[in-house]
Structure 1
Amino acid sequence: MTENTPGAQGDPAVVQQALHQLASDRDDVVALGTLAASDVLLPVPDDLPGPEGDGEPGSIHLPVYEQSDGVRLVPVFTSEDRLTQALPQIHSYRTVRLSLLGQGWPADDLSLSIDAGTPDTLTVQGQGVRALASLAGGA
């Protein structure tokens, strides 16, 4: 597995604890703030251009998956282990601050799924993803 951008992942255990807390209390502002300020792993499917590809400098290509019910989502993960368990076909990822994803979230009908396939999976709708950016002060 390769990481395509520099930067520390942060402590996955702290982020996973925040997810666990949010599973029992979706309005926990401290846990939401921790989540917003954390770095997550954004899968880079083999068929997406790399960071030096056709996009604008600094742009991020979001891997959008469509479920059988038509729901479109972007998966992110708190650790390489969780990413590998959910998407074993993915061989690389980018480390991205969750609040930065929220600042440029493209659509309300696109959801963010954090740690899909785990007991602490959290799915956030488009407006909620944008709100996470404000919780971290846009950091």
Structure 2
Amino acid sequence: MTENTPTGDPTPVQQALHLLAADGTNAVALGTLAASEVLLPVPDDSVNPEGEEPGSLALPVFEQGDGLRLVPVFTSEERMTRALPQVRSYRTIRLATLSQGWPADDLSLSIDAGSPDTLTVQGEGVRALATLTGG
């Protein structure tokens, strides 16, 4: 696992991702993940887009070759930069808050894409994360 803290230890959310890679039903790890803040990339072309409502959040959607549409989020700047070096800015958001307004079942969430502990959650599962924190 990549080390991202000044002491060289993985962060609690990275530890949770590592546990979920081994056991996707680990309730404690899922709760930690849902309560954690993640970095949501903001592509350069979507900063202050016209017509965006105040308080709304533009999701960066990437489409893979197989047609899977996903929104990437990251647990550290290092992991985000490694996966998306072209992205220069991001918003920090609690994962449960992001999951509350998840727009579609056919849109997946990818956490720490490109890392050994990448976790991809389908739309219905993303919305379920909000229930783990009471949010």
Task: Indicate the residue corresponding to 1:66 in structure 2.
Answer: 63
Letter in 1 for 2:104: A
Residue 125, structure 1, aligned to residue 122, structure 2: yes
SS for the counterpart of 1:19 is helix
Deviation at 1:42, TM superposition (A): 0.2
Unaligned runs of 5+ in 1: 1-11
Residue in structure 2 matched with residue 3 of structure 1 by the alignment = none
2:113 to 112, 116, 139: 116
TM-score of the pair, normalised by structure 2: 0.90
* Distance in 1 of aligned mates of 2:27 and 2:124: 16
Distance 1:14 1:37 in 2: 11
The letter of the residue matching 1:100 is T
Aligned equivalent of 1:47:
45
State the match for 2:20 in structure 1.
22
Per the normalisation by structure 1, the TM-score is 0.88
SS across alignment from 1:47:
helix
1:6 maps to which residue? none
1:63-102 superposed matches below 5 A: 63-102=60-99
Q: What root-mean-square deviation, in Å, do the aligned CA atoms of Structure 1 and Structure 2 show?
A: 1.5
Please give the alpha-carbon distance, in whole angstroms, between the structure 2 residues aligned to 1:135 and 1:89.
33
The equivalent of 2:3 in structure 1 is none
Residue 136 (str. 1) matches residue 101 (str. 2): no
Cα deviation digits, residues 74-99 of structure 1 (max 9, x gap): 00000000000000000000001100
Note the C-alpha offset of 1:53: 5.1
Q: Report the number of matched residues.
A: 127
Check if 1:107 corresponds to 2:123: no
Taking only the aligned residue pairs, the percentage that are identical comes to 73
* Counterpart Cα distance in 1 of 2:89 and 2:18: 26
Paired amino acid for 1:136:
T
